[in-house]
Amino acid sequence: MTIEYNLVKIKSALPVSVQLVAVSKTKSNEDIMEAYRAGQRIFGENKVQELVRKWESLPKDIEWHFIGHLQSNKVRMIAPFVAMIHSVDSFKVLKTINDEAKLVYRVIPCLLQFHIAEEESKFGFSHEEAIQLLSSIKLTELENVTIAGVMGMATFTQDTTLINKEFSTLKEIFQTLKEVFFSGNANFREISMGMSDDYLIAIENGSTMIRVGSTIFGERCHI
């Protein structure tokens, strides 16, 4: 199947309230351009150097979303152009994004990443940690970031009951944070959840952004 065919198929089943982030990590500029010509403008990458390389060489109306683990010392490389950072998992990185955005006169939308899966290796806050963080900082002092919502990854499993439970947990976290810290704040509105194998379950649970790679571009080579 072609990339265009895969994209059209996914998009035809998406509610209008759900945005598609085409995850293009490890994929070539040619593959990205095929998706671009099919109308896709939002792409997601998880490695800083790879993202910078692609941003430099591809059309400037692409909205680049960063979805991988972000080290503070690399924020400067993407601050001038990144459209959204999905993977904020510490105050340190949030503060660094704010400071680097300020230097380039930008406000960068960020999502707080939550650990919702059973697997040990996934990054992210717990609900308690996020409440602690948001209670202890003055968000208004971070003028160059907006907290635009939450992000999470479900356990990699065939167990749809478990996936459902994890996504509904993220939705509950979103709602609690919205009530307690962001009521009346229209910026806080995104729930980034759902990948190739579980995006339909994510949408049932209120996802507003799905991050889909292999179903669009084909399997990645594992090096």
Ligand X SMILES: *Cc1c(COP(=O)(O)O)cnc(C)c1O
Q: Which residues are near ligand X by CB under 6 A?
A: 23, 25, 46, 67-68, 153, 195-196, 211-215
Distance between CA 64 and CA 174 in Å, rounded? 23
Question: In the complex, what is the shortest distance from the CB of residue 58 to ligand X, in angstroms, rounded to a whole number?
Answer: 19
Tell me how far, at minimum, the Cβ of 211 lies from ligand X, in Å: 4
Nearer to ligand X, 98 or 215 (CB): 215
- Nearest approach in angstroms of CB 25 to ligand X is 6
Q: Retrieve residue 197's tokens.
A: 């194998």
Residue 1 identity: M
Pick the closer one to ligand X by CB: 144 or 214: 214
Separation CA 175–CA 34 (nearest Å): 37
Residue 97 to residue 80: CA distance in whole angstroms: 11
CB of 114 to ligand X, least distance (A): 12
Smallest distance, ligand X to C-beta of residue 69, A: 9
**Which ranges of the chain does DSSP label H, i.e. alpha helix?**
3-12, 29-37, 48-57, 75-78, 91-103, 127-136, 160-181, 199-204, 214-217
Of all residues in the shown chain, the one whose CB is closest to ligand X is 213
Residue number with CB closer to ligand X (144 or 164): 164
User: Does residue 120 sit in helix, strand or coil?
Assistant: coil
Of 156 and 189, CB closest to ligand X: 156
Q: In sequence order, which residues have a C-beta less than 8 Å from that of residue 139 and are 6 or more positions away? A: 147, 181
Q: Cβ closer to ligand X: 6 or 96? A: 6
